[in-house]
Copies of this chain bind each other. A is one copy, B any other.
Amino acid sequence: MNERTVFFLSDQTGVTAETLGHSLITQFDSHEYRQVTLPFIDSDDKAREAVKKIDEAAEADSFRPIVFSTLVQPEFRQIVKQAHGLHLDIFDVFLEPLEIELEQKPAHESGRAHGMSDINAYMKRIEATNFALANDDGGVSRNYEMADVILVGVSRSGKTPTCLYLALQYGVYAANYPLTEEDFETGKLPDFLQQQNHKLYGLMIAPDRLRQIRRERRPMGKYSSAQQVRYELREAEKLFKRYGIPHIDTTEFSIEEISSRILDSTGVDRRVRP
């Protein structure tokens, strides 16, 4: 038996309902609820199926379910509302004030936000992703001159996922450069990187966290030793100072947050909007 179930309902992917619901539910302490996403509710039948699932949870759990939804079409909202739960729908609440403000009727059409209406945005994201892949950790091509930003850091400091997220979410061209033993020994960055100094952004991470992450990859040896990890991070910091490279400690942040902070602090423009 669950204490409580939280549903995320959508006529599309459910990403908006999940994001919205997660922001709200995490404000309360006891948020260890079972979470169920029911996407693509785009017919009466599917709406009724959702009602059935919510009612079943209401029956089985100690408390009635919480239902976050983003159902554009009023008829599906009406059906879903018959289910036993606390219903919170963004269209229910926000569409009317917008309608008044914009002096326009809403389309009540689903798929407008995530549809492929804008092929340009799709292409930009794909191109940015390809760029990130080609310019990842010693990738073959080094089109650093094309990059919007170049992330610099020690191995496993989060460069790759951050570059990919910047590409997929924002269409930003993010390359990355893993600091090498040679960089540490000479205390210098290679020339091709120095030429792009204004694009460099450093990633730092707490030694303990880095060890933990590296151990997952290679449990034994120098790579994940306390001494090596501390040495690399110390030298990385020296390099950031020497070249005046802004940097962020990623230890406490999620990939979304790191990405967003980099955009905010560098002023790099997103090429697409989600």
Q: Which residues of A contact B (CB under 8 A)?
A: 12-16, 18-20, 22-30, 35, 39-40, 66, 70, 72, 86, 88, 90-91, 93-95, 97-98, 101-102, 104, 106-109, 112-116, 119, 122-123, 125-127, 129-130, 133, 136, 158, 160-161, 164-165, 168, 209, 212-213, 216, 251-257, 259-261, 264, 273-274
Contact across chains for B273 and A18 when beta carbons are under 8 A apart = yes
In the complex, what distance in Å separates the CA atom of A200 from the CA atom of B133?
Answer: 24
Contacts of A168 in B (CB 8 A): 161, 164-165, 168, 255
In the complex, what distance in Å separates the CA atom of A111 from the CA atom of B129?
Answer: 27
Contacts of A88 in B (CB 8 A): 94, 97-98
Contacts of A127 in B (CB 8 A): 216
Contacts of A161 in B (CB 8 A): 125-126, 129, 168
In the complex, what distance in Å separates the CA atom of A252 from the CA atom of B12?
Answer: 13
* Closest residue on chain B to residue A104 by CB atoms: B28
Contact across chains for A35 and B273 when beta carbons are under 8 A apart = yes
Contacts of A113 in B (CB 8 A): 22-23, 26
Tell me, rounded to whole Å, the shortest Cβ–Cβ distance linking A90 to chain B. Answer: 6
Contact across chains for A26 and B112 when beta carbons are under 8 A apart = yes
Contact across chains for A20 and B22 when beta carbons are under 8 A apart = no
Contacts of A12 in B (CB 8 A): 257, 260
Contact check: which of B19, B39, B109, B122 meets A16 at CB < 8 Å?
A: B19
A116-B253, A264-B39 known; A102-B15 Cβ under 8 A: no
In the complex, what distance in Å separates the CA atom of A24 from the CA atom of B91?
Answer: 7
Contact across chains for B90 and A15 when beta carbons are under 8 A apart = no
Contact check: which of B13, B213, B264 meets A257 at CB < 8 Å?
A: B13
Tell me, rounded to whole Å, the shortest Cβ–Cβ distance linking A272 to chain B. Answer: 10
Interface centre among A14, A256, A261 (most CB of B within 10 A): A256
- Of all A-B residue pairs in the complex, the 10 with the closest CB atoms, nearest first, are A13-B260, A27-B106, A26-B112, A23-B113, A26-B113, A16-B19, A16-B23, A86-B101, A19-B19, A129-B161
Contact check: which of B108, B109, B264 meets A40 at CB < 8 Å?
A: B264
Contact across chains for B129 and A24 when beta carbons are under 8 A apart = no
A18-B274, A264-B39, A273-B35 known; A254-B122 Cβ under 8 A: yes
Contact across chains for B28 and A106 when beta carbons are under 8 A apart = yes
What would 14 more interface pairs be, CB under 8 Å, given A24-B94, A119-B209? A13-B260, A26-B112, A27-B72, A27-B95, A27-B98, A27-B106, A28-B104, A39-B264, A88-B97, A123-B216, A125-B161, A126-B161, A133-B136, A164-B164
